[in-house]
A and B are shown apart, each in its own frame.
Chain A
Amino acid sequence: MKRMLVSIAFGALGFSLTAPALAQRQAPDIAELQKLYQKKVSEAWLKNAGWSLSWEDTLKRAGKEGKPVFAYFTRSYSP
């Protein structure tokens, strides 16, 4: 019983020491994500062909012009 309590205590201690480090590693760095997003949306292919990044604006224009929407899904957080 005593041995079990000791191992629980060590386990808890270990967790309390490693948890903040893990949380720090897993938490998204918002400033970095913002930077990556800005980099993505300034790429030439996106700027040169008249892409819209706003779903609301696209939908409004599509309704007005009666055209279908060509939607391309990409990501900025990873290459």
Chain B
Amino acid sequence: MENGAFSQKDFAKTIGDRALLFAHVTTRIPEHPNDGMLSDVGGRGFPTIALLSPDGELIGRHSGPRSVEGLAAAIDRAAGLINSRAMVAAGDEAAKADLLLYELGFGIVADFKTATQRFEELKKVTPEQEKEIGGLMAGLEFSDVMAQRKTLGGKGVAAKAYEMYQAGRIVTGDIEADFWLSGVLAHAMFQRDIKLGEEVAEKLSKMESFQDPGTAAILKRMLARLRNHDK
């Protein structure tokens, strides 16, 4: 990053216009001011990027794209969250849906039960917000399924992934969606459902992680195995 986005010409303007830039250098020099600050923001390694509110409260750590545009988008979301919190505190009912969206995005609301409860309490929500919240909540739902993988077993996890797929609870977010759709594909393999397998493989092949030639080849082999099973 230091030699990448941080060194680009537009970094200072794009990022500096949106946020205050604070660089923390861990030195291991005894008595160096704030030397242990990384753990205060929950960071476990270097480099870590954290977004904080103007009063210093941690909003979240950034683990997404590290391009100038990706960093700017993360700051915009942090600013949106701060703004929504202020609006909700002032009694704006409509801002609650945005706040839930931001809190889901930053992992502040990180369990399916809380997310469901918060969603059910919303009085004003647009169809777009509902779709976006639904995608993030489906991610949490599948995390719960994965947490039970020892008792459910591979087949059970795959069946749950398919149950969500069939019910239209579509997981969004690159990593989570890949993982979940791979579960649906596994279900198609277990059930020898060629139609479902082809449908899901088509969706997976368009995802970022499946652009890697090795991963794409695995997908192709799985599909071939499924098609040729009874031949």
- Do A and B assemble together? yes
Residues of chain A whose beta carbon lies under 8 Å from any beta carbon of chain B: 28, 30, 33-34, 36-37, 40-41, 43-46, 48-53, 55, 58-59, 61-63, 65-77
Residues of A within 8 A of B24 (CB): 53, 55, 71-74
A68 touches B28 (CB 8 A): no
> A48: which B residues are within 8 A, CB to CB?
7, 12
CB < 8 Å: which of B11, B47, B54 contacts A62?
B54
B205 CB, min distance to chain A CBs, angstroms = 36
Mark interface residues in B114-150 (1 if CB within 8 Å of A CB, else 0): 0000000000000000000000000000000000000
A49 to B14, CA, bound (A): 10
- Bitwise, B1-42 to A at CB < 8 A (1) or not (0) is 111001100011001101111111111111011100110010
Per a CB cutoff under 8 Å, which of B21, B49, B51, B52 touches A50? B21
Chain B neighbourhood of A50, CB < 8 A: 12, 16, 21
Interface size on B (CB < 8 Å)? 46
- Report B's interface with A, CB cutoff 8 A: 1-3, 6-7, 11-12, 15-16, 18-30, 32-34, 37-38, 41, 43, 46-56, 59, 71, 75, 78-79, 82
Complex-state Cα separation, A41 to B55, whole angstroms: 25
Chain B residue at minimal CB-CB distance from A33: B29
- Supposing A44-B7, A55-B37 touch, asked if A72 and B23 sit within 8 A by C-beta, the answer is yes
Contact in complex: B2, A67 (CB < 8 Å): no
Contact B27 A77 (CB under 8 A): yes
Instruction: List chain A residues, Cβ under 8 A from B19.
Output: 67-70
Chain B, interface SS category: mixed
B27 and A70 within 8 A (CB): no
Q: In the bound complex, do residue B22 and residue A51 qualify as a contact, i.e. CB atoms below 8 Å apart? A: yes
Find the B residue at minimum CB distance from A70.
B19
24 A-B residue contacts at CB 8 Å? A37-B32, A41-B25, A49-B15, A49-B21, A55-B22, A55-B24, A58-B20, A59-B56, A62-B55, A65-B20, A68-B54, A69-B20, A69-B52, A69-B54, A70-B22, A71-B23, A71-B24, A71-B41, A71-B50, A71-B51, A73-B24, A73-B46, A74-B24, A77-B28
> Once the chains are docked, how many angstroms separate the CA of A37 from the CA of B25?
8
Residues of A within 8 A of B51 (CB): 68-71
CB distance from B60 to the nearest CB of A (A): 11
User: Judging by beta carbons under 8 Å apart, are B50 and A73 in contact?
Assistant: yes
Quick one: which of B3, B41, B75 contacts A70, CB cutoff 8 A?
B75
Contacts of A55 in B (CB 8 A): 22, 24, 33-34, 37
Known contacts A45-B2, A73-B41; decide if A68 and B27 are in contact (CB<8 Å). no
Given the complex of chains A and B, what is the CA–CA distance between A34 and B29 in angstroms?
7
